[in-house]
Amino acid sequence: MSMSENVLKLSNEKIAKSITKDMIGLFFEDINCAADGGLYAEMLENRSFEAIKTKGTGRNYVMAEDNLYAWESTDQKPQNLEISMNMPVSEKNPHYLRFTAEKPGEGFYNKAYEGISLTKGQKYNLSFYAREVFYKEGEVQILITKDGKTYAENTVGLKFITEPDGYNQMIGKCESKEWHLYKAQLTAQDDVHGARFEMHLTKEGSYEFDLISLIPQDAVAGVFRKDLFEALKNLHPAFLRFPGGCIVEGTSLLHRYEWKKTVGELKDRKIKPNLWATQGGNAIKAWETSDCHYMQSYGIGFYEYFVLCELLSSEKRKCKALPVLNIGVACQFRSYQTVPVDSEEFQEYVQDALDLIEFANGDVNTKWGSLRAKMGHPQSFNLEMIAIGNEQWESDYVDVAPRYKAFEEAIHKVYPQMKLLGTAGPFVKHELYDIGWNFYRDNAKSNPNFCYAVDEHYYVAPEWLYQNVDFYDDYPRDVAVFAGEYAAHDLNLTNSVESALAEAAMMTGMEKNGDVVKLASYAPLFNRIGHSQWTPDLIWFNEESVVYTPNYYVQKIFSDYAGSKALQLDGQDKKLREQKLYVSAVLDDEEKIIVKVVNASEEEQTLNLTDEKGQVYLGECEKVLMQAASGKAKPVVQTEAVDTKDGNKGLPGGDTATNFKMCELRKPEATSCIISKIHLDGKVSLPPKTITVLKFEKKN
C-alpha cells in the first residue's frame, strides 16, 4: 500500500484564538477505590469499625451495620471480638473494638484489601487509640505476617490503671480509664505482598481499640500514596475538580457529601457508606457487589483536597481548586429526593457554600478561616472557582434554575469575583442539555458574571468523538465550557489505543477552541484493579503498582505541549479529517510551533509542513510518538458478563465474572510514548493508529 501524503501550511502570523492556560485538569471522585484504598495512603480497611454493608441497585437498596468487616481473630475465636459504643473516642464515629485474650498471645488481624504490601527497608507509621478494660502491665505486639513468617514488628506498652480500694473508690480518689493515642513505627524486613496486619495482647485480658491506622512513611504530606500522587503530579494539572460526581449528591440527601463533616480532627470526621457500593459495574451479583462495604473515611477531606492542589502546582502551572457543591438534590439517577428552594433547609445548603469560601480564603479571625489555620494552613488557599451542582437537569421534580440563582445571588453578594460554574446535565445534543444552556446564556445577557462556565459531560463511542471534533467551533462565546467528564467508551469499556486516539482527536478541537473551552477533565481518574464500579479510567493500580493507560498519555501530551495561541488553519484541518488525520497547530509561551496529529487510519501517512509560500520547515524538532507498545493497535473485542441461573454474573465460557476477571479482560492496552530529537526536513511520517507531536521554531 502506498503511503498517503498530506500538506499542512502554517502561518505563525495568523492567530485564530487565544487558549486558556487552565484547560487540562483532573476530576477526582471516590469511585473504584480512588480515595480509600487508593490515593489515601491508609493501608487498613474499616480502621474505625464503622462499616456498613450496602446491597441493592438504583433506588432499591438496604444498609446494615457490619462493624467487624475486615477484622478477624487470629485464633478462630470470633467471640473474643466485640463491638461496643460506650463512651467512644468520638461520638461522630461511636463504634470501637473490645478484644479479649483468654491467654497470652491471642490477637486479631485486618485483611487490608488484597493484603499488606511492604518494601524492604521502608518505614510505616502506626497509630491507634486504646483504652484498658482489664489488662495489667501488658503490651500489644504488632506484626505483619504471611505464611507464618514475620516481615515487620513492634511492641507497644499499654497503659493500665490500678484498681482503687473501696475507700478511695467511695470518695472518688482514683484515676479513670481513658482513651490514649499510641504511635509507633514498623520497618519492613523484606519485600512482601498479600500479608496481613496483626495485633496481639502479650498477656490475657481485655483492651479496647479504635482508629487503627498504618500509613507508609513516604506518603506525601502524610496523606497521599506516593506513586499515585506522582502519577497526578506528572500531568501538571491546571485544576482539580472534587469531590465528585454522583458522590456529591448521594443515594439520598442523608448520604450526600457534606464538606463540613470532612474537616477538623480525623477522629471526628463521620464515616459514611460510599454511593458506589451499590453499583454492580463490572460484576458480580445483581443484588450484592464484592465492594458492598465500600466506605468514605474522609481521610482525604476538603482540607486535604485544597492541600493536594497546592502540592500538584508546579512551575509549569498552578493547580486550582474546583469544589463541587450539592444544591439540595440527591442523585437524579438514584433518587427523587430534593429540598424545596423556599425552605429554611435549602438556605443551609447556600450557607455551606459561603462558609466554604470562608474556609478556603477567610482571615484567620473568621470562624471557618480559623479552623483552616488550626489545621495547619493560616494562609488563604486562594479559591477562585466553585461548581454549583454536579449533573442536574430540569425535570418534573428538580428545578435547577432557581437553585442556581439562589446560590449565585448569595455568593456574588459577598464574593463578587468568585467564578461560578453551572451544569448542563449528563446529556449532550439533547433537549435537556439545550434547556440548561439556554438558561445560563439568557441570564448572561444582563449579568455577564452570572456563570463563568457550564459543565457538560459525555461518555460516548470513539466514533462520536471523531465525528464531533468541530463540536465547539460554533459555540457562542458569552459563557465558557467546562468539559467536566468525558471519555471514549469502546465496545469493551476499556482503555484502548483506539479510545485514546478518539479522545486526542476531540482534544484537538478543544484546543482550537480554547477561548471558549476553559476547562476539561477526563473521567473517572482512578481504578483499583478488582474493585471497579466503572471502566475505562485514566490510571489503573493495585496495592503495589501503577498502570498508565493510553488515555493517560494523551492527557499528558496535551498538558506538556499546551499552546497559548491557536493558529488559523483556514479549513485545512477539515480537509485532513477526510484522511482520518486530526490536527491542531498552536504557539506556546516560547513562541514555538506545536503541531499535534492523530492518525486514526489503518495506513501510514506523511504530513508535509510548509509556510504559506510553500517553503518547508527545516531544523531541530522535538518529537513525541504515542502508539501501541506492540507497534500495532489491538482490535477491540467486546466482553460482556451474562446473567446466570444463580443470579450472579458469568462469562459465556462458564467462568464467574468476578471483578478481578473483568478487570483482566478489560485491562489497559500497553502503550509506548517516546520523546526524541529529530531534524525536521519538511515532512514527518505518521504510522497508523498513532499520535505525533512536533515542536519546532517558527519562521521569522
Contact 671, 628 (CB under 8 A): yes
The 10 Å Cβ neighbour count of residue 575 is: 14
Whole-number Å distance between alpha carbons of 160 and 149: 31
What are the grid coordinates assigned to 495, written together? Answer: 482503555
391 is catalytic: yes
Report whether 554 contacts 507 (CB < 8 A). Answer: yes
Which position has the grid cell 469499625? 49
Please report, for the chain, how many H helices and E strands are present, in that order.
13, 38
Q: For 588-606, give one letter per residue: b (16+ CB within 10 A) or e.
A: eeeebbbbbbbbbeeeebe
**What is the number of other CB atoms lying within 10 angstroms of the CB of residue 169?**
11
Residue of 202, 118, 127 lying closest to 152 (CA atoms): 118
CA atoms within 13 A on the CB side of 217: 14
Distance in angstroms (rounded) separating the CA atoms of residues 614 and 413? 56
**Quick check: helix, strand or coil at residue 661?**
helix
Contacts 24+ apart (CB under 8 A), 448-452: 448/478, 449/412, 449/416, 450/408, 450/420, 451/404, 451/408, 451/420, 451/421, 451/422, 451/479, 452/385, 452/419, 452/420, 452/421, 452/479, 452/480, 452/518
| Active-site residue (options: 29, 45, 391, 543) | 391
Measured distance CA(642)–CA(442) in Å, rounded:
47
Give one word for 137, left, alpha or beta, with left for phi > 0 and alpha for psi -120 to 50.
Answer: left
19 vs 519: CA distance, rounded Å: 11
Among the listed residues 192, 174, 185, 168, the one whose alpha carbon sits nearest the alpha carbon of residue 119: 192
The residues that bridge with 123 in the sheet, in sequence order, are: 187
Angle of helix 367-374 relative to helix 344-361, nearest 10 degrees?
50
| 3-class DSSP state of 247 | helix
> What's the CA gap between 72 and 77, in Å, rounded?
8
Peptide bond into 476 cis (omega under 30): no
Phi, psi torsion values for 511, nearest 5 degrees: -65, -40
- Torsion of the alpha carbons at 256, 260, 262 and 266, rounded to the nearest 10: -140
Per DSSP, the residues of 365-387 read TSHHHHHHHHTT--S-----EEE
C-alpha angle 423-424-426 in degrees, rounded to nearest 5: 105
Report which of 106, 168, 159, 109 is spatially closest to residue 136, judged by C-alpha positions: 159
Instruction: Answer left, alpha or beta for residue 125, where phi above 0 means left and psi between -120 and 50 means alpha.
Output: beta
- Please give the helix or strand (H or E) that residue 690 lies within, else none: strand 690-697
432, 425 contact by CB (below 8 A): yes
Active site residues: 391
